[in-house]
Chain A
């Protein structure tokens, strides 16, 4: 009996014009999202390579390591482009220096505002908006629609149990709608291969996880809307209810949770933190100047010559020690400030995400971003790697310039116009002597750990609504 009912369910959906139209639309959007993603990736990788080349050329044009202005660029990752997350809001360029605060500037949105306008069309959008709508469009009248058409009574005038009917409804809908959706997704994956997007094995696994999460989210909406259609007698009412659930889930809860979280846990604005930092740095510079002046005047009194190499060396030593003291103080103050801010922000984010998990699409988004590595922690993780890299960079610069001081590089140069300098000027710099920054992606274990909770939630919601639909239909009035 189940087989007959299941077969009918599959045919009923697949033969329908509604399916033909909505599936075509969904498929086109999936393929479009892959295509747009691929083009974006190619464009940003091109920009990235160009920026790197220009940077290397700028360094190569210099003859003095003390004068270089090295920049580090964030390399675009294929998954970022399929699940944007915060990618386009995070800066892509960093002025690398041995000391001082590292900053990320020049985000995609700030560099290309037009792009911000069309930010929505990524795979994430397709899952959140298109698939969920697709699901409720078929789920809302799954049960009460058959009642209105009189087919429910006709079916149940035969030896059919309620359990087998609702089971075939649920399984049939999931199969008839979910399996076709896999087709454009797989074609999208083939497009990635066809366009030669470099994807590591790990990235394929992560993409697979995003797709699984997306289908789970789709399943939640499908089982939920079928459950609603088994609880409400009229399909016009269940359509409205499903739509309201959808609007809340997609639009209201995610935004509302952010607002609510900012009420519950307030965080000082980034400007306030910046102001504190600037004030500290200004004070420090002032102190530095005073100390340097004292040093000079004490030296003047001992009437040593500026061109004396002993003088230059002792000045470099003095500056190095000063640099160390002030950099340590700065690093400590900044990190305390940053950590404090991050802790508060963390707390707020935890509230926001916690509240937003009322919405299945929000759960999916959190999971997808965590899998793709484009979650709110993206910038923090990148900056951590950058700080680690900075140590290697600073070490190289120390070897090249004999000093790690940034503030007074130019001062040193002015006062030390000796023989060595003349020689150095002849030699062009080789930018490849600076170690390259390579961003390490999150490992599989970390990826799974970061998304396990939300994936689990999606699975549970599927089970709950599946069971809910089942239970609701056992009590459904067939007449």
Chain B
């Protein structure tokens, strides 16, 4: 693995105004062609970590890097190298799938895409053909998630950050989703995913980071997990039976 670090968290620490320490010196990195999974219960600090990468929050301490750019110093430049999908994906209900995609593609700097290009991306994420020109109003969560994924794909950024992308998806939709992620990995993207789903985490990721109460307790590679029971490991970690 001699790939460069695309995403890097350096001792990220966040203390909220109310004094809550949501993140405590969290460090990890994601290389090109790697899927890194932040695994943790609700409230573990996953979204906080992601928000720091996107400059929605300023770290109390530490630095998030995207493609080597310090997000706290030049957030706008850093954001050119990352595609992001938030945990709430309502998108614009009055726009069609294609119009949603078109808007975000142009925001991401893709100005010359044609209708057919958008259709190709929408096909790629497995949205039914007849939904392409339908308003999102009537879309199911799974369909909206697909459009959301299309939005992250179309930007063609080296880093992709997905916050709880599979929560609320039915198994079939979730499987399709994972297939696309593998394709993206094959293209050499660095992918950071947060989830509270142990099985998905083991299934899709090259590296799993176990988070609890703002601390990154362990980072395990796929090879290390081959011989371990991740579920047991996870519970042990968050119950403090294994020293971090």
List residues 143-160 of chain B with CB under 8 A from any CB of chain A.
Answer: 148, 151, 155
Residue of B nearest to A18 (CB): B94
Structural contact, A157 and B82, CB atoms closer than 8 A: yes
A388 interface contact, C-beta 8 A: no
Q: Mark A129-153, 1 if CB is under 8 A from B, else 0.
A: 0000000000000000000111101
Cβ contacts under 8 Å, B148 to chain A: 154
A149 touching B76, Cβ below 8 Å: no
Residues of chain B lying within 8 A (CB to CB) of residue A150: 86-91
Within 8 A of B (CB), among A5-41: 5, 8, 11-12, 15-17
Per the bound structure, the CA–CA distance linking A17 and B54 in Å amounts to: 33
Question: B53-73: which have CB < 8 Å to A?
Answer: 54-57
Contact of A156 among B54, B80, B85, B93 (CB under 8 A): B54
Q: Which residues of A contact B56 (CB under 8 A)?
A: 153, 156, 477-479
**Which residues of chain B have C-beta atoms less than 8 A from A384's C-beta?**
none
Cβ proximity bits B80-108 to A, threshold 8 Å, 1 near / 0 not: 10111111111111110001000110111
Residue pair A151, B90 in contact (C-beta under 8 Å): yes
23 contacts across the A-B interface (CB closer than 8 A): A4-B106, A4-B107, A8-B92, A12-B92, A15-B94, A16-B94, A148-B90, A149-B90, A150-B90, A150-B91, A153-B86, A154-B89, A156-B79, A157-B79, A157-B161, A158-B80, A158-B104, A159-B80, A160-B107, A161-B76, A478-B56, A479-B56, A479-B57
- Check B107–A158 contact: CB distance below 8 A: yes
- Distance between Cα atoms of A382 and B23 in the complex (Å): 75
Contacting residues of chain A (147-186) with chain B, CB-CB under 8 angstroms: 148-151, 153-161
Q: How many residues of A contact B (CB 8 A)?
A: 25
In the bound complex, residues from chain B placing their C-beta under 8 Å from that of A4 are 103, 106-107
Cβ contacts B36-67/A at 8 Å (1 or 0 each): 00000000000100010011110000000000
Chain A residues near B (Cβ < 8 Å):
1, 4-5, 8, 11-12, 15-17, 148-151, 153-161, 477-479
- Chain B residue contacts of A161, Cβ below 8 A: 76
Give CA–CA (A151, B107) in the complex, Å. 12
A8: nearest chain-B partner, CB-CB: B103
B109 on interface, CB distance cutoff 8 Å: yes
Instruction: State whether B95 touches A12 (Cβ < 8 A).
Output: yes
Task: State A158–B94 Cα separation when bound (angstroms).
Answer: 21
The 7 closest A-B pairs by CB, nearest first: A150-B88, A157-B84, A149-B90, A15-B94, A158-B107, A150-B86, A153-B86
Give B88's nearest chain A residue, CB to CB. Answer: A150
**Are A153 and B89 touching (Cβ within 8 A)?**
no
> Cα distance A478–B54 when bound, in Å?
11
| Chain A, residue nearest B148 (CB) | A154
A158 touching B79, Cβ below 8 Å:
yes
In the complex the two chains form, what is the Cα distance from A412 to B104 in whole Å?
94
Q: What's the A-B contact tally at a CB cutoff of 8 Å?
A: 81
Query: Which B residues are in CB contact (< 8 Å) with A5?
Result: 107
User: Would A11 and B83 count as touching, CB distance under 8 A?
Assistant: no
- If A156-B55, A159-B77 are given as contacts, then 20 extra A-B residue pairs at C-beta distance below 8 Å, sorted by A number, are A1-B107, A11-B94, A148-B88, A149-B88, A149-B91, A150-B86, A154-B85, A154-B148, A156-B79, A158-B79, A158-B107, A158-B155, A159-B79, A159-B80, A159-B107, A161-B76, A477-B56, A478-B56, A479-B47, A479-B51
Q: B95–A15 contact, CB under 8 A?
A: yes
The main secondary structure of chain A at its interface with chain B is loop
Complex-state Cα separation, A8 to B57, whole angstroms: 26
Name the distance in Å between B45's Cβ and chain A's nearest Cβ: 13
Beta-carbon nearest neighbor of A152 in chain B: B86
| Bound Cα distance A43, B77 (Å) | 68
Find chain B residues with CB under 8 A from A11 CB. Answer: 94-95, 99
A145 nearest CB neighbor, chain B only: B90
Which of A4, A11, A16, A153 gathers most chain B CB within 10 Å? A153
In whole angstroms, what is the CA distance A151 to B155 when docked?
A: 16
Give the contacts of B107-166 with A (CB-CB under 8 A).
107-109, 135, 148, 151, 155, 161
CB contacts (< 8 Å) of B86 on chain A: these are: 150, 153-154, 157
Q: Shortest distance in angstroms between B73's beta carbon and chain A's nearest beta carbon?
A: 15
Complex CA gap A12/B136 in Å reads 12
A32 CA to B87 CA in the complex, in Å?
47
**Which residues of A have CB within 8 Å of B47?**
479
Distance of B6 from chain A, by nearest CB (Å)? 15
Q: In the complex the two chains form, is B95's CB within 8 Å of A154's CB? A: no
In the bound complex, do residue A154 and residue B84 qualify as a contact, i.e. CB atoms below 8 Å apart? yes
Q: Which residue of B lies closest to A155 (CB)?
A: B107
Q: List B contacts of A149 (CB < 8 A).
A: 88, 90-93
Q: Once bound together, how far apart are the Cα atoms of A154 and B104, in whole Å?
A: 8
A15 to chain B, nearest CB (A): 4
Contacts of A478 in B (CB 8 A): 56
Residue of B nearest to A157 (CB): B84
State in angstroms the CA–CA spacing of A5 and B107 once bound together: 8
Instruction: Report the separation of the CA atoms of residues A150 and B54 in the bound assembly, to the nearest whole angstrom.
Output: 14
Residues of chain A contacted by B161 (CB below 8 angstroms): 157
Taking CB atoms, residues of chain A closer than 8 Å to B93 are: 149
For the complex, what is the distance from the CA of A192 to the CA of B83, rounded to whole Å?
56
Report how far A154 CA is from B136 CA in the complex, Å.
16
- Across the interface, name the chain A residue whose C-beta is closest to B55: A156
Q: Given the complex, which residues of B lie within 8 Å of A8, measured CB to CB?
A: 92, 103
Residues of A within 8 A of B107 (CB): 1, 4-5, 155, 158-160
